[in-house]
Amino acid sequence: MGSAAAKKLRFPFAPPTEAGREIDLKSGFRSRHVAIGGSLRRLGRLAIGLMFATGLSAVAAPLETPHPGPLPTPAGEPIELVATLPGLLLNGVAISPTGRIFVSLPRWAGTATPGVVEVLPDGSYRPFPGGKWHEWRPGMPASQGFVAVRSINADSDGNLWVVDEGQPSVGVKDTQFTDVIPKIVQIDVARGEVVDSYPLSRDVAPPGAKFGHMRVDKNYLYVTEPGLGSLVVIDRKTRQAHRRLMNAKAAKADPTINPAFAGVPLARPGQVPQIHLDHIEIDATGKKLFFMTLFGPTLFSIEIADLTDWSLSEQDLERRISVEGPVPPATGLRRDDKGDLYICAITEFAILRRKHDGGWDVVSRDPRIYVPNSPSFGPDGDLYFPVSLLPGFPSIGINGPSAVYRINLGRSG
C-alpha cells in the first residue's frame, strides 16, 4: 500500500531544475511546482487536448518546446489492466455495487460514439442501456438519446447517472443546436432501463455553460458547471434545479495559473484555458461537499445544509465556503469509505491520496497513467480509472490504446 501520510509531499518526478523538490502544503500547490517529466513537443496541442477533456472550446496558441524527456519510473501500487477500448475516447468510469463496469465515451470533434458502454468480464463491451439511446445524430430529437456524455456516476442504490451536456462537439456554437438541452439521465442498472431524466433549463444552463462531474445523495443531485463556474443542485423531490456559487471566487479558475509540464508552461500568458468549478465529492459524513477547479490550486468545501438552503444569497454562500488545502491540477476526484480523497494528478502520471487527516501520499505512479480521468471504487475496494490519449495530446512515447486500469486497494495478495 502507499506510504504513510507526511507533512510534505515529494514529487520525485520533476524537471531537472526542481528534481526531488518537496512541496510545502502550507504554501499550496502552484503550477510551477508540478510537472510532467516528458517535455511536450507543442504545448498548444496539450491545451487543445484539455479543451476536449473538459468540453471547452478556447485554444491556446502553440509554443515550441524541447523534445520529450524520460518517463517516470513506476512507484507505489502496481496498476492492473482491466480492458482496452481501441479507437474510443474515455472520460470516466463507474462501478456498480455488484461490480459491473461502465465507461463514458464523449462525442468530441463530431465523433459519433455510443455514449455509455458496459465492459464485460471477457474485456469486450456493449452499449448500455442499449437501443435508441445510442442512436442520436444531428437533427434527431435528443430527449431520449445521448448527445454528448460528459461523465457518469454510480450510486449505492444501483443507479447509473449520466451527465449529457447536450452539445455534440467541442467548438460548436450552442445556437446551432437550439433543440438540444443538457440533461441528467438515471438508469436502473439491474433492469437496464432509463427510469428518469432531468432536463436542465436555460435558468441553470445559460449560454456558455458546460457540465462536468456529478454526485448524488438521497435528496439532491450535484452537477459541476466548469464553463462559467457554478454548481447546479437539483432537488430530487421537487425536481427544481438551482444554480449555486455562480459568483463565488472559489468557483472560478485562477487566471495566473499556467500549469508546467516538464518545466514548460502550458500556454502563452493570457491564453491558458480557464476551466472553472469542475470536480466535486461528498465527504464521508454526507454533510459536506468538496469542490475545486481543474488546475486547483485549492480544495474548498461547503456544508450541504448551507448549499441547499435556498434562502441564503450568493454572498451568504460565499462566506460559508471553507478552504481545505492545496491540490495539484487534477482530472478526477473520488473519496473512499475512510474519507480519503484520491486525485488523478494530470501533471504527475499518478494517483495521489489526500488522507482525511490532511497528509498526502502517492498511491501509484506509472507512465501508463497518462491523462487519467474520473475514477470509481469497486465493491472490492479497488480503484478503477480510464486513460485515453486525448486529441491534441502528444504521445511522449506512449502510444497505447484507451484502457481501463485498476489499483488493488481492497483485495489481499
Q: What is the pLDDT of residues 299-334, one digit of tens each?
A: 999 999 999 999 999 999 999 999 999 999 899 999
Q: Nearest Cα to 166, choosing from 132, 189, 141?
A: 141
Model pLDDT, residue 29: 41
Q: Pick the residue with more confidence: 169 or 237?
A: 237
Q: What is the pLDDT of residues 97-135, one digit of tens each?
A: 999 999 999 887 566 789 999 999 999 999 999 999 999
* pTM (two decimals): 0.85
Question: What is the pLDDT confidence band of residue 352, given thresholds at 50, 70 and 90?
Answer: very high
pLDDT above 60 for 60? no
Model pLDDT, residue 143: 85
DSSP 18: G
Residue 149's φ and ψ, nearest 5 degrees, are: -70, 125
In this prediction, residues 51-55 reach a mean pLDDT of 50
Model pLDDT, residue 270: 78
Measured between alpha carbons, how far is 345 from 361 in angstroms, rounded to an integer?
A: 12
Measured between alpha carbons, how far is 373 from 172 in angstroms, rounded to an integer?
A: 23
Domains delineated in the chain: 8-206+249-271+345-407 (2.120.10)
Q: What is the pLDDT of residues 379-404, one digit of tens each?
A: 999 999 999 865 544 444 456 689 99
Which amino acid does the sequence have at 181?
A: I
Q: What is the mean pLDDT of the chain?
A: 81
